[in-house]
Amino acid sequence: MCVRAAIAGASGYAGGELLRLLLSHPHIELGALTAASSAGTTVGEHHPHLAPIADVVLQPTTLDVLQNHDVVFLALPHGHSGEIANVLPAETIVIDCGADFRLADPVAWKRWYQSDHAGTWPYGLPELPGARKQLEKATRIAVPGCYPTAASLALAPAYQAGLAEPDAVIVAASGTSGAGKSLKPHLLGAEVMGSLSAYGVGGAHRHTPEIIQNLSQAADEPVTVSFTPVLAPLPRGILATCSALAKPGVTLQKLREAYADAYREEPFVQLLPENRWPSTAATLGANTAQIQVALDEDAGRIVVVAAIDNLTKGTAGAAVQCLNLALGLPETTGLPMTGVAP
Ligand SMILES: NC(=O)C1=CN([C@@H]2O[C@H](COP(=O)(O)OP(=O)(O)OC[C@H]3O[C@@H](n4cnc5c(N)ncnc54)[C@H](OP(=O)(O)O)[C@@H]3O)[C@@H](O)[C@H]2O)C=CC1
Ligand SMILES: CC(=O)N[C@@H](CCC(=O)OP(=O)(O)O)C(=O)O
């Protein structure tokens, strides 16, 4: 099988990571690569690590350029996917790395993104209960946000197994590539290097409703979420520390069994042996998530730590994993399973 794939937003970080992964995917032929202000420049000017396609010229992001492909990946800023996605033929597989189609509730969309809701597509986190079935043979897929990926993989098994009270607390540190490549004053080297800083504190981050959506589905009841993101002086990686009060009678053994059951068959989720803890470096460039779960008996809390690479399992790797499902290929096709160390 050979499918022709276009990438809109190929000059950005998510687009660059999609290109890195697709270059070693055995069933993909690259088609149009597009950008906005960078149209007319070459891939090599934006992604010096992608030498084999350094001379490919980026085209403008228009319907004309993007049509006539089997697959179109959208790696555009929020609010720009709907206008393109909704005019591409129904049989084209469209995979959106942005937020436009992630939320099921139009009211939540309007509150957090201050624009009209474009719609809701199957949610691209196959490891969530019930999600994989909806992705098989799908032609429209919404890739999750990077923080919701880490937080949902961390806490969904505890909720699915009925072990956690519906009140989650999540603190997650992210590398700066999570913010995209456009110039932002708080992301200048001098501001970021040698410092950790919280932002979006007090329930202000737009990923809060997405995490609530995922955990409430797993729990089958509304879950409240207090989420605090932290900017870390790393190019890539998310480390999420997630906790919830344990329900009465929960033991560490029950907890570990629930996580082992949830992830035994999952190729990309590594539940670590007891007393080993996830690190971002161990997932660097891989489509993997490392998870460890503990029971803090004094505090009565379940504590789960999850590590991912925000650009791989947190975006482009998830997009390719979902494409594999949509095409009926083995889910791991073309995806790195090991990180880079030291
Ligand atoms: N970075 C991450 O870790 C994650 C990102 N995502 C999502 O992926 C998407 C892309 O993010 P990221 O790559 O980080 O962002 P970047 O800022 O790095 O790249 C954005 C891309 O979109 C293009 N673009 C900008 N404005 C427009 C426009 N008006 N119309 C068409 N194209 C435009 C840019 O082209 P040009 O170079 O010409 O400006 C560039 O190719 C976003 O929706 C983001 O939320 C999701 C999960 C994680
Ligand atoms: C470090 C950093 O700034 N991270 C980004 C999240 C990136 C992501 O997953 O984003 P989307 O929902 O935008 O697709 C942020 O907090 O806005």
ipTM of the prediction:
0.97
H or E stretch covering 261: helix 252-263
97 catalytic per annotation: no
Quote the pLDDT of residue 192. Answer: 86
The DSSP letter of residue 247 is: P
Of 133, 112, 113, residue with least CA distance to 124: 133
Whether the CB of 178 sits within 6 Å of ligand 1: yes
Which atom of ligand 1 approaches the CA of 78 most closely?
43
Could you say which ligand is closest to the alpha carbon of residue 15? 1
CA distance 217 to 280: 27
Domain assignment present for 135: no
Q: Looking at the structure, do residues 74 and 206 belong to the same domain, yes or no?
A: no
Domain presence at residue 182? yes
Is any atom of ligand 1 closer than 6 Å to the C-beta of 118?
A: no
Residue with tokens 């540190």: 173
129 belongs to a structural domain: no
By the 8 A CB rule, do 182 and 237 touch?
A: no
Domain that holds residue 45: 3-121
Whether residue 111 is found in the same domain as residue 160: no
Is residue 117 located within the same domain as residue 172? no
Q: What CATH number did the domain enclosing 251 receive?
A: 3.30.360.10
Question: Phi and psi dihedrals of 163, rounded to 5?
Answer: -100, -15
* DSSP-assigned beta bridge partners for residue 110: none
Classify residue 20: in a domain, yes or no. Answer: yes
Q: Is the pTM of this model over 0.90?
A: yes
State the residue for tokens 């597989």: 93
Show the beta-strand stretches assigned E in the chain: 3-8, 28-35, 59-60, 71-74, 93-96, 140-142, 164-174, 197-198, 224-231, 238-246, 269-271, 289-296, 301-308
Whether residue 49 lies inside any domain: the answer is: yes
Q: Residue 145: its pLDDT value, please?
A: 98
Question: Among the atoms of ligand 2, which is closest to the Cα of residue 97?
Answer: 14
Where is the domain boundary, 121, 155, 187? Answer: 121
**169, two tokens:** 């607390």
- At residue 233's C-alpha, the angle toward residues 227 and 238, to 5°, is 45
Cα gap 130→280, rounded to integer Å: 27
Using DSSP bridges, classify how beta strands 59-60 and 140-142 pair: parallel, antiparallel or unpaired: unpaired
Q: pLDDT at position 35, please?
A: 98
**Within a domain: 250:** yes
pLDDT tens, per residue, the chain with 342 residues: 899 999 999 999 999 999 999 999 999 999 999 999 999 999 999 999 999 999 999 999 999 999 999 999 999 999 999 999 989 999 999 999 999 999 999 999 999 999 999 999 999 999 999 999 999 999 999 999 999 999 999 999 999 999 999 999 999 999 999 999 986 777 777 788 899 999 999 999 999 999 999 999 999 999 999 999 999 999 999 999 999 999 999 999 999 999 999 999 999 999 999 989 999 999 999 999 999 999 999 999 999 999 999 999 999 999 999 999 999 999 999 999 999 988
Q: How many domains does the chain have?
A: 2
pLDDT score at 155 = 98
Q: Both 292 and 211 in a single domain? A: yes
Q: Do 186 and 93 share a domain, yes or no?
A: no
Asked if 303 and 293 touch (Cβ cutoff 8 Å), the reply is yes
Q: Residues 171, 216: one domain?
A: yes
Of 57, 86, 121, the residue at which a domain comes to its end is 121
270 in Cβ contact with 127 (< 8 Å): no
Do 99 and 164 lie in a common domain? no
pLDDT at residue 324, as a whole number: 98
Q: Which phi and psi (to 5°) does residue 116 adopt? A: -75, 145
Q: What is the pLDDT of residue 184?
A: 73
Does residue 293 sit in the same domain as residue 165? yes
**Residue 215 sits in the same domain as residue 162:** yes
Among all ligands shown, which has an atom nearest to the Cα of 173?
2
Q: What is the CATH number of the domain that holds 14?
A: 3.40.50.720
Tell me, what's the pLDDT at 341? 84
Q: Is residue 166 located within the same domain as residue 302?
A: yes
- End-to-end C-alpha distance for the chain, whole angstroms: 36
